[in-house]
Structure 1
Amino acid sequence: MRIQAAVVEGPGGPFTLRDDLVIEAPRSDEILVRIAAAGICHTDLSTRLRWPQQLSPMVFGHEGAGVVEAVGDEVTSVRPGDSVCLTYRSCTDCGQCTTGHPAYCDTGIFALNASGTRSDGTTPLSRAGDGRPVYGSFFGQSSFASHALAHTSNVVKVPADLPPTIAAPLGCGVQTGAGTILNVLRPPRGSSVAVFGAGGVGLVSVMTAVAEGCRVIAVDPVAARRAKALKFGAVAAVDPQAVGDVAGAVRDHADGGPAFAVDTTGQPTVISQAIATLAQRGTLALVGVGGRAEFDIMTVLTKGIRIRGVIEGDAAPADFIPRLIARYRQGVLPFDEIITEFPFHEIEDAARAASAGEVIKPVLRFP
């Protein structure tokens, strides 16, 4: 079947729309989805910068939403015509998956989601004419395309009346921000939560913690994002470039220090600030993708700080995404207010706007 996709030809290359790709028919355990919307996540943008040349050209995209067009013989969870949200892939059989923690699948989150191929090393995409392979299967989907092949573990049925531009971000960014609060930190009502980085994931963490009755302090250098945090109920929004002591500024708003903190930046300096901010026996959730970070071990030891890495909000999508939809419809998770829509053919403009901080959550609309 011939499809259109945004292809990255090599490391750091732009998203280029091509109409000459072919996608295979679904295998027995696969689901063919016609994509109606796809969110652009920081992971898409950062991964394309360092994606290996030997696995190029590549199709990214891991926040797809659309309608099922065909299913393999073994698929019983959805059928053609169902509206679905796409999320990350897991094996479903290992100890982590069977105990409700598929984000930490023993098969490996990168092996299933960021290898550029199916588990058997094949790719379902190729170029029409010469048949040259195009790599994909990103997060088991590669949804920067008119059609994507996904699997039962990363396809969640959603209500038909839910707009696809709302459904799309649920699969990663919204799930991560909300899950970090609800599934991992679980702050008691009245406790203080500091959120470092008020991008898409950070602002969803803010609105979720506020809905749980917490005092939230947001930290971000972008004025528009700080304003959004305040609109969503944060008691304070700190500009780290305007204060000499970020940790002290946050503690001033949290009775000596928050019990919980979320870092969405992955930046070593910010992580150190978050640790210094916390009260005794506080907990820091590391959500942002980054490299190495250094921190003062004595501070962590003497204050009894707990540091917890979080992937995908430690969420089991089939159960968690319906809960998020319910929160959205109740008005306590208004993440639609951080979305900016772009037509699919403007994907490179949307990526540039996201990288420049001009928009918070770009979502692509497909014809």
Structure 2
Amino acid sequence: MEYVDVVTLGESMVTFVPTRPGRLADVPSFDRAIGGAESNVACALAALGHATRWVSRVGADGFGDHLLARIADHGVDVSAVHRDPARPTGIYFRTGADRATGAHEVVYYRAGSAASAMSVADVDQAAVRACRVLHLSGITAALSPQCRELLWHLTAPRAGGPLISFDVNFRPALWPERGEAAVLLELARRADLVFVGADEAEDAWGVTGGAEAIREALPEPGVLVVKDGERGATAFARGPLEGAGADTDTVTPGAPEPAATVGAVTHRVFEPAPRVHVVSTIGAGDAFAAGFLSATLRGLPVRQRLRYGHLAAAAALTASTDLAAPPGRGHADRLVALDAPAWGRLRLAPGWTQAERAPEEANPT
């Protein structure tokens, strides 16, 4: 199996979005798209120049054909996706309103889907592990007991394995029983790099008090990224830093830190998010993870990794689709290199990813 930069594993579904605003009960027609946290990350990383593979199961149906074709069109290897003749590809319908509004509606038809049947026995383990980074999501753990067992297996300590990246991705609708989401905390503790929103930590685990409190609840990961919406994100990186006063670490993909270093010094880096004209928040978390992972693969300092995450998220925030193209690497590199005052002046509006003007002129308002 070909070795790639990043493998992502999880369910993707065909998405139906209304052609005009309104309740699902009222809109007359829908446009078809694709949606899935892990495939979104794979597609964004491919657009950023990385070799990626998406591992999953889809039905032997037209929707499965559509998913495979669309994701492959983004440059992602889909050769390890299994076709299931007995189970359907998941689909869902959503309104055009943002998830943060009370008017937003989502209706899933994913129970018994092909992806929910993923298990340790039927996933190509060689394809999953032939990478520098394996990116997983808490959504998969909610699909079925066998999916949860698969994540437990993939996050088990293994010498010489890929760096394990885990996005908590708490979805309340998938965890209806109080306390069930505690499994996400246990999975996060087994990962090397974890992404979690401050709101997710409170809703899923009752952890309040900000980034530091979340780090106290999650001391094990070598790198923990706590996202705080439009305010910004905080990264906690354990281990030595490069140079006096630098904000970089030496976490290397493919070489997870041993558990014995859990008590080592943790360095904290906060980076504010640029101001963004938000069209929709859907897919922004996946994009942030892709941006951060891209910068990690390139060995960039932690502060620059956070900035890459913010810029990739801004690309999603200023687009109406679940999967938005990130800025070109050259464009992003120029923005990431801005000094703090210039970074603080950034104003990113729809279409900014196509701008190739001077960094400080990127769609100011």
Q: Same fold (TM over 0.5)?
A: no
Q: Which has the higher contact order (CA 8 A, sep 6+)?
A: 1
Normalised by the size of structure 2, how large is the TM-score? 0.28
Normalised by the size of structure 1, how large is the TM-score? 0.28
